[in-house]
Copies of this chain bind each other. A is one copy, B any other.
Amino acid sequence: MPTEESIAKGTGVLDKLFGWKIDPKTVTQPFNRITMGNLFGDVWTRPELAIEQRSMITVAALIVLGRESELRMHLRGALNVGITRVQIEEMILHLAHYGGWPVAATATRIAQEVFAEIDAGK
């Protein structure tokens, strides 16, 4: 199971991606600990890919798999690490050809909603 150090690193990644301030001591439920320590703490911080690249391939995966709520979250993460709105729209246009138009249509709707929420200060 993940160490306290891994969990602390994971909360740092979530702060950077989503602006979430999470006290590592509050991460107690087993699946949350695994997610925070193994996925965000250990994997997302590995130097073999930059965080912008991890964000981009994560968004690509979520678009083609049609995972709506996770996509909503990671679109904000993508913007926070410097991927532009134009690049996000272009990823959707590109990936329409690999995952099909329906997942691209859903991603377009979610992206527009996220952009509008940000513009409204939410």
A binding-site residues for B, Cβ under 8 Å: 1, 3, 6, 30-31, 34-35, 38-39, 42-44, 46, 48-49, 53-54, 56-58, 60-67, 69-70, 86-87, 89-106, 108-109
Task: Report which of B87, B98, B105 forms a contact with A102, defined as CB distance below 8 A.
Answer: B98
Write the nearest CB–CB distance from A98 to chain B, whole angstroms: 4
Q: Is the Cβ of A106 less than 8 Å from the Cβ of B61?
A: no
Number of copies: 6
Q: Is the Cβ of A38 less than 8 Å from the Cβ of B31?
A: no
Docked pose: A61 CA to B42 CA in angstroms: 23
Task: Report which of B31, B49, B62, B93 forms a contact with A31, defined as CB distance below 8 A.
Answer: B93
Interfacial chain B residues near A48, Cβ < 8 Å: 86-87, 89-90
